[in-house]
Amino acid sequence: MAINQESKLGFNSYPVNGEEPREMAPLKSLEQHHPHIDSSFQSFCASLGILSVEDFLLNDHYEFAAIAERQPNSERIKQGIREIFSIIDGQRQPLLNGMELLDDALRNKLVLSTGCDGIDLLLEGGLREGQLTELVGPSCSGKTQVCLQAASNVAKNQMGHRVIYIDTSNSFSPQRIACFVDLAEGRRLQNVMNNIFCRSVFDIFTMFRVLHQLESNMRSQRGPQMVRLIIVDSISSLITPILGGSGSQGHALMVTNHTVGGEGGVPKPALGETWKSIPHVRLLLSRDRENNATSVSIVKHSSMASGTTASFVISGR
């Protein structure tokens, strides 16, 4: 059974009107509306390998400013730097007061079952629209299996809606997806496969372009073709600041993260303190290899007690 994959078994990316994702806008495209980002400023940035706002964000701003200070036209360059920060600030979401936040929290949001009984029980139904859920665990703890089952379950139960699967480590398996669907129901299997869109991404710049294109697509999405779930497996392979900076209303977002050695050898989630505050929900997975059961515990949740645990077994192994 064919499945929508771009770089493996013919899986399509998520285009607009059949187009491939476009390159993100370079600094040159900002010159018309932002006069301080002129050709001189662009040439200075290009000499440091900075061609876009995303390149600017990934650079050390203190070092950048120090180099600018030594230039003959330093004041003009600093005006350009302030212009870029102004553009970035303009992209931030507006401040919300307490009542607006409470209203958003109490609003009836869609809950997406992952198909893993233990996780669904722990999260009182599954993944919530508008939240980023992080799965943390060592290698072979079952993170990818949970992602594949969640993709299959959402594509099956939210018929017609789409699941976007961003694969950063060649871990996506259409065969495993098929195992989660009743193979006797050929039509259902075909529908599930058609509603999962996978994109293999192996560098941060491609990730930026894919996320930028997805954001553009989802602004205009309506009806049965809406994206219900975005999965990034794994986020620790590619550090992507965009994910933390934009809202995820209208869909749920699930990412996986590896563990690294912490104090006293105790494992802790990768990506450090900067990433720690980004997920709304953080779940820790571990596997008992003797009975093939996976244990899951809540590390962080906005409305549920940390330390609560459950266990489950991934079917179709």
CB contact at 8 A, 37 and 19: no
Domain assignment present for residue 178? The answer is yes
| 65 plus 197 within the same structural domain | no
* Contact residues for 49 (Cβ-Cβ < 8 A; gap 6+): 55
Please tell me whether residue 111 adopts helix, strand or coil conformation. Answer: strand
Domain assignment present for residue 4? The answer is no
129-167 per-position pLDDT tens digit: 888 898 988 878 888 999 999 999 999 887 778 899 999
Q: Is the pLDDT of residue 1 over 50?
A: no
Q: Per the structure block, which two tokens stand in for 243?
A: 């994910």
| 81 plus 114 within the same structural domain | no
| 80 plus 134 within the same structural domain | no
| 229 plus 293 within the same structural domain | yes
Share of the chain above pLDDT 90, in %: 12
208-264 per-position pLDDT tens digit: 788 888 877 777 665 556 888 999 987 765 654 444 444 445 578 888 887 877 777
Handedness of CA 238, 247, 93, 106 (dihedral sign): negative
| 275 plus 129 within the same structural domain | yes
Domain assignment present for residue 13? The answer is no
| 86 plus 218 within the same structural domain | no
259 lies in which domain range? 110-313
| 167 plus 232 within the same structural domain | yes
